[in-house]
Amino acid sequence: MHTTVGIIGGGPAGLLLARLLHRSGIDCVVLEGRDRTYVERRQRAGILEQSTVDALRAAGAGARLDREGLAHDGIELRFDRRSCRVDFPSLTGGRRVWVYAQTEVVKDLIALQLKDGPPLLFGAEALAVEDAGTGRPAVRYRHRGREQTLTCDYAVGCDGFHGVARAAVPAGVRRAYERTYPYSWLGVLADVAPSCDELIYAHSPRGFALHSMRSPAVSRLYLQVPNGTDPADWPDERIWDELDARFAVDGDWTLGRGPITAKAVLPMRSHVLEPMRYGRVFLAGDAAHIVPPAGAKGLNLAAADVIVLARALARLRTSGDAGPLDAYSDTCLRRVWRAEHFSYFMTTTLHTAPGQSPFDTRLQLAQLERIASSRHAAAELAENYTGPPLG
């Protein structure tokens, strides 16, 4: 089988790229190693930047998002038993974010792809990307018990950190940058209406906490925990008590409680692989970069990558101009490193490191106080959180 663009990975990045290419008249094939049920239930991010929402609408996948997504005009910071709201539209010229779970984004894109899009093969396990430095890369994959080969003019790895596409960039060419953090997140889903209208990011001597939501009836909450934590060590009552303590402010705010339906521990790290292109093989999303979740950048960076790539391929097809395609890695990496820095800032400002000194805690509080009292500091946070326009 041959196609113009072979896409490895049927997560949000690969599926969005396929839709954008399809609407530009560029044929492609998507290979996804897991089955449809697994892909649609894979819990990940839930915050969408304006540019991501615009791209989903342009791909024809915005109808349910517009009906069910929750538009947010700010976030609340809590520290030292007080709160501060950061208003996005007034600080960014009107930008905002949306709460719409990755599971729902994926469901929407899969439904469109199977209805009228190019081939999407579930259970197609990519084994290797070969001939990456030549004019026609090939993706070896196993589907329905048979090993097959997909040749393509361009191959795109949207298959995550542990996927095969990364290996197509030779060891002597690639450069990897990484930071690990000495804490994780315990994330829970609860069948209870959110106790807030917007996300709450809480700094506490007991550790970080985040209050988010998946819908008007489902809350998504996170607690900073030590690396290696077993979710079984956190019964429901202990989780709610700890959330109560970390969100505490002077006033009458109350945290609603309800049945917890899911628990998982998320390790935290930053990782960037350069370059994001080798020959005719391109990397996008987690295959090229990982950010800690405090900045809400993971899904949005992946979307930005494939938007840039889809535009570059469309430009090549319509005008023969290969300039944007040749600049893909540099273009994406500028945004990636900006997001890495912002995610690092949010993580280190809001979390309490093991053995953290009182001096470091006071530095964190001084930074949070500056955001609360300075429009310039608040605007910088808002501009980074809502994401720069893609142009």
- Does residue 121 carry a pLDDT above 80? yes
In a shared domain, residues 150 and 167 = yes
- Does residue 391 carry a pLDDT above 70? no
| pTM for this entry | 0.94
In a shared domain, residues 314 and 234 = no
Closest CA to 228 of 179, 269, 180, 267: 267
In a shared domain, residues 287 and 240 = no
In a shared domain, residues 168 and 36 = yes
CATH no. for residue 29?
Answer: 3.50.50.60
In a shared domain, residues 147 and 255 = no
Which of 44-53, 283-292, 312-321 is predicted least confidently?
44-53
- For the CA atoms of 193, 195, 198, 201, the dihedral, rounded to the nearest 10 degrees, stands at -130
Three-state SS letters, the chain: CEEEEEEECCCHHHHHHHHHHHHCCCCEEEEECCCHHHHHHCCCCCEEEHHHHHHHHHCCCCHHHHHHCEEECEEEEEECCEEEEEEHHHHHCCCCEEECCHHHHHHHHHHHHHHHCCCEEECEEEEEEECCCCCCCEEEEEECCEEEEEEEEEEEECCCCCCCHHHHCCCCCCEEEEEEEEEEEEEEEECCCCCCCCEEEECCCCCCEEEEEEECCEEEEEEEECCCCCHHHCCHHHHHHHHHHHCCCCCCCCCCCCCEEEEEEEEEEEEEEECCEECCEEECHHHCEECCHHHCCHHHHHHHHHHHHHHHHHHHHHHCCCHHHHCHHHHHHHHHHHHHHHHHHHHHHHCCCCCCCHHHHHHHHHHHHHHHHCHHHHHHHHHHHHCCCCC
Task: Report the alpha-carbon distance of residue 208 to residue 223 in Å, rounded.
Answer: 6
In a shared domain, residues 199 and 303 = no
- Condensed to tens digits (0 to 9), the pLDDT of residues 232-278 reads 999 999 999 999 999 999 988 999 999 999 999 999 999 999 999 99
pLDDT number for residue 47:
93
In a shared domain, residues 241 and 106 = no
Q: Is residue 94 part of a domain?
A: no
Q: Given pLDDT bands bounded at 50, 70 and 90, which one contains residue 12?
A: very high
* Domains: count for the chain: 2
Q: Given pLDDT bands bounded at 50, 70 and 90, which one contains residue 390?
A: confident
Domain containing residue 33? 2-70+102-178+269-346
Buried b (16+ CB within 10 A) or exposed e, 20-51: bbbeeebebbbbbbbebeebeeeebbbbbbbb
In a shared domain, residues 189 and 251 = yes
In a shared domain, residues 106 and 150 = yes
Q: Is residue 45 part of a domain?
A: yes
- Condensed to tens digits (0 to 9), the pLDDT of residues 84-103 reads 999 999 999 999 999 998 99
pLDDT number for residue 262:
94
Q: Is residue 113 part of a domain?
A: yes
Q: Given pLDDT bands bounded at 50, 70 and 90, which one contains residue 389?
A: confident
Task: Report the alpha-carbon distance of residue 7 to residue 269 in Å, rounded.
Answer: 26
Q: Given pLDDT bands bounded at 50, 70 and 90, which one contains residue 1?
A: confident
Q: Is residue 171 part of a domain?
A: yes
Q: Is residue 88 part of a domain?
A: no
In a shared domain, residues 154 and 232 = no
Q: Is residue 145 part of a domain?
A: yes
In a shared domain, residues 44 and 149 = yes
Q: Known catalytic residues?
A: 72, 201, 293, 297, 385
Q: What is the mean pLDDT of the chain?
A: 95
Task: Report the alpha-carbon distance of residue 222 to residue 189 in Å, rounded.
Answer: 9
CATH no. for residue 188?
Answer: 3.30.9.10
In a shared domain, residues 280 and 133 = yes
Contact 160, 193 (CB under 8 A): no
Average pLDDT (18-23) is 95
